[in-house]
Amino acid sequence: MTSPGPLIGVLAIQGDVREHLASLERAGARARPVGSTAELGGVEGLVIPGGESTTMSKLALADGLMTPLREARASGMPMYGSCAGMIMLADRVEDARPDQETVGGLDITVRRNAFGRQVDSFESEVPIPAVGEPDFPAVFIRAPWVEQVGPSVDVLARVERGGAEGTIVAVRQGPLLATAFHPELTGDTRIHELFVRMVIG
């Protein structure tokens, strides 16, 4: 008999929660929504989904969840943020709303809606050595990109858009993982499998 997978939560205040729950289950985890401090206390890792980071920030503050999220992150809980979730994990946000706050922890600067109006949404096959071959089908929806990374951040993926080196769209720093794209909207579970392995440790 295989052992039950780790218990991983999906922050359920706004965004595409259901898709992440399904991807986590397919990747071998037990997944449940997290909408309260008590529910946060019961999980071994947390996914912060895509959605709208300004709304997520506002609701997390109103619900009293921002401080518990920061404490869980500071105590070493593995967290994975996709798109708006990447913004929520970033220490610095360009084009943020003035009252927008983040959980932070990732020593990166992200720019919201960075790919611009003409390319609000697009899909790109992105090489991600950390999850192996083939290239990953990455879906970007009003996505941020990473403008700057600190010395302890590993760059996992870039796309060829502006700049000779390409634009950074996936990073890892210890127990924190973030992608500018939405793996939960594809059938490809390799990013979620990577996060499950990070939670198992």
Residue 182: CB minimum distance to ligand GLN, A:
7
Q: Which CB sits closer to ligand GLN, 97 or 197?
A: 97
Q: What is the SS3 string spanning the chain?
A: CCCCCCEEEEECCCCCHHHHHHHHHHCCCEEEEECCHHHHHCCCEEEECCCCHHHHHHHHHHCCCHHHHHHHHHCCCCEEEECHHHHHHEEEEECCCCCCCCCCCEEEEEECCCCCHHHCEEEEEECCHHHCCCCEEEEEECCCEEEEECCCCEEEEEECCCCCCCEEEEEEECCEEEECCCHHHCCCCHHHHHHHHHHHC
Q: Active site includes 83?
A: yes
In this complex, which beta carbon is closest to ligand GLN, that of residue 52 or of residue 107?
52
How does strand 154-159 pair with strand 167-173?
Answer: antiparallel
Of 12 and 84, nearer to ligand GLN (C-beta) is 84
Per CB under 6 A, residues contacting ligand GLN are 50-53, 83-84, 87, 112-113, 141-142
The distance of closest approach from Cβ of residue 189 to ligand GLN in the complex, given in angstroms and rounded to an integer, is: 19
User: Per the residue annotation, which of 83, 123, 147, 160 is the catalytic one?
Assistant: 83
* 147 labelled catalytic: no
Nearest distance in Å: CB 106, ligand GLN: 15
Minimum distance between the CB of residue 141 and ligand GLN, rounded to whole angstroms? 4
Task: Exactly one of 19, 20, 184, 192 is catalytic; name it.
Answer: 184
Closer Cβ to ligand GLN, 72 or 110, answer by number? 110
Clarify whether 192 is annotated catalytic: no
- Give catalytic residue positions: 83, 182, 184
